[in-house]
Amino acid sequence: MNEIANRQLTDGALKTLLREIRQCRLCAAELPLGPRPVVRAARTARLLIVGQAPGTRVHETGIPWNDPSGDRLRAWLDIGRDSFYDDTRVAIVPMGFCYPGVDRNGGDKPPRPECARHWHPRLAAHLAEVELTLLVGGYAQKYYLGSRRQRSLTETVRHWRDYAPRFLPLPHPSWRNTAWLKKNPWFDDDVLPVLRDRARALLG
């Protein structure tokens, strides 16, 4: 079988998997707005963004990071929406694919655990071209770094060099973390230039 045929089979297998994910109903009974899995990926993607779970606006639109948190993340990367949503270059695979609801304190509930257990390893098998994975928030860092992560998100992000070049841990770009960003100016000074350089090199 020639290379083109092999590539078509591989692309077809990923598209089939993405269709399966978007039809997933594993935890439908636990989702207050019902299932609407949000994920984007292509075999050629070189940058992978692993976040938490969609908020209500992302659930409504079906577009990942389509909210103020996404605006801040794109500013951190210094890329526009066209590049960010080019799934041939950027894969977006949250820890939980569906909106999980609100907790008693008014924030979003944690991502449902079924997604990572059932889907992440299967997706990873199709994303062999990924050179950098952004671990956005504590849930992604816990899953992908395991015992290698530090005792807190702050320390994990501060020790980002320990996880390079494959991973780059980041705080969540939510407005709720504005105080964290002001308290930790080293993030802007030390981490963002590296993030932008890597993104520029990977995305062109």
Q: And the tokens for 112?
A: 């449902």
CA–CA separation, 204 and 201 (whole Å): 6
Closest C-alpha among 116, 70, 108 to residue 90: 70
pLDDT class of 44 with cuts at 50, 70, 90: very high
**Other beta carbons less than 10 A from residue 125's beta carbon:** 11
How confident is the model at residue 104, as a pLDDT? 84
Tens digits of per-residue pLDDT, 173-191?
999 899 999 999 999 999 9
SS3 of 83-118: HHCCCCCEEECCCCCCCCCECCCCCECCCCHHHHHH
The mean pLDDT value for 53-78 works out to 97
The mean pLDDT value for 151-163 works out to 98
H/E run at residue 135: strand 132-136
**pLDDT of 147 strictly over 70:** yes
pLDDT class of 7 with cuts at 50, 70, 90: low
The mean pLDDT value for 90-99 works out to 98
pLDDT class of 1 with cuts at 50, 70, 90: very low
The mean pLDDT value for 161-168 works out to 98
**pLDDT of 25 strictly over 60:** yes
How confident is the model at residue 74, as a pLDDT? 98
How confident is the model at residue 5, as a pLDDT? 46
Q: And the tokens for 132?
A: 């950098």
Query: pLDDT averaged over the chain?
Result: 94
Asked if 53 contacts 95 with a C-beta cutoff of 8 angstroms, the reply is yes
Domains of the chain, with CATH numbers? 3-203 (3.40.470.10)
How confident is the model at residue 105, as a pLDDT? 82
The mean pLDDT value for 137-154 works out to 98
The mean pLDDT value for 128-135 works out to 98
* HSE-up of residue 192 (Cα within 13 Å, Cβ side): 17
CA–CA separation, 199 and 8 (whole Å): 27
**pLDDT of 84 strictly over 70:** yes
**pLDDT of 155 strictly over 60:** yes
